[in-house]
Amino acid sequence: MREIKQIAVVGGGLIGMSWASLFLARGMEVVVVEPRQQAQDELQGFVEAAWPQLQALGLTDSDAVRHAAFSTDMAGVAGVDYVQESGPDRLELKRQLVRQLEDLIAPDVVIASSTSSLLASDIQSGARHPQRILVAHPMNPPHLVPMVELVAGRQTSAASMQTAETFYRQLQRVTIRLQKEVVGHLANRLTSALYREAVHIAAQGIATVEDIDKAITYGPGMRWSLLGPHLTYHLGGGAGGYRNYLDHLGPTQEARWRELGHPELTAAVKELLVAGVEEELADQDRDTLVQRRDQALVELLGLKKKYGF
């Protein structure tokens, strides 16, 4: 495995800036490629805001480098050991980025795409070295949410997957390997299933947007931050465990599945959802929402570590 010291983050949006913060925190040399010149100041502001959180998580110390190199074109990636591609989720754009990268980086440098839905097989199509292209999808913000989904394409090599998994684990990320490709990978498919029903309930007037959010954050969301759905229902089965739950309460699950909705994001539904969020935010400090979320994530991660979850 090539030693990874220099990393290119291609794409300087929220995900790219978060990745860059994590890489810098772990003492790596980082170049961020982003055509928007103003993104350089945005990046530095993001890193400075993230630094106390990274320190609280034990991911860095005050002596680590806190400044990434910045480039408005791809020339800055020459010589890097790893690429975290975080550009917009458009297939042709990602293929174009791969073509540009392959003119500048060594054939054994992994190109890991942060894509939330696209397939690695589609991204690597037409590449000169498709074996080094894979999906490494985080959840926003990746410097705080430790999960990284790793998905191989049809031509991705086992060596590239192992390089990526070793790399992210060294960053104290929790890696998940999907056994087959599917649109949306794993985490986004699960969240999309929940979101579909949340939209359906709002559109049908069953509950308000605010109460739907409360139902998740004060109900199953509290359990899910510690145990996933399978382990949660294992505990719900009592002494008989998961099998007992499935045998006795499985039919109630199936009954609910049959009742789940299939909403469409019509103009009227969009207006309903946006109005609901505006009402939900009325009594909150909007300016500190991201800051409060991130600080809570730091503390939640500490609790999970303390109790072995």
State the amino acid at position 47 in one-letter form. V
Give the pLDDT confidence score for residue 73 in this predicted structure.
94
- Under CATH, what is the fold of the domain 6-177? Rossmann fold (3.40.50)
Q: Tell me the torsion sign for CA atoms 70, 72, 73, 75.
A: negative
Strands (E), the chain: 6-10, 29-33, 69-71, 82-85, 110-113, 133-138, 147-152, 174-177
Whole-number Å distance between alpha carbons of 157 and 205 = 49
Give the pLDDT confidence score for residue 62 in this predicted structure.
73
Map out the domains of the chain as residue ranges: 6-177, 187-226+264-306
Would 6-177 and 187-226+264-306 be classified into the same CATH topology?
no
Dihedral angle, C-alpha 174, 189, 293, 176, nearest 10 °: 0
Give the pLDDT confidence score for residue 63 in this predicted structure.
73
Place of tokens 């599917």: 182
What is the CATH number assigned to the segment(s) 187-226+264-306?
Answer: 1.10.1040.10
Q: What is the pLDDT along the chain (309 residues), one digit of tens a residue?
A: 778 999 999 999 999 999 999 999 999 999 999 999 999 999 999 999 999 999 999 999 877 788 999 999 999 999 999 999 999 999 999 999 999 999 999 999 999 999 999 999 999 999 999 999 999 999 999 999 999 999 999 999 999 999 999 999 999 999 999 999 999 999 999 999 999 999 999 999 999 999 999 999 999 999 999 999 999 999 999 999 999 999 999 999 999 999 999 999 999 999 999 999 999 999 999 999 999 999 999 999 999 999 999
Q: Which of 154, 162, 150, 115 is nearest to 10 (CA)?
A: 115
Alpha-carbon distances of 59 from 68, 230, 242, rounded to whole Å? 17, 30, 36
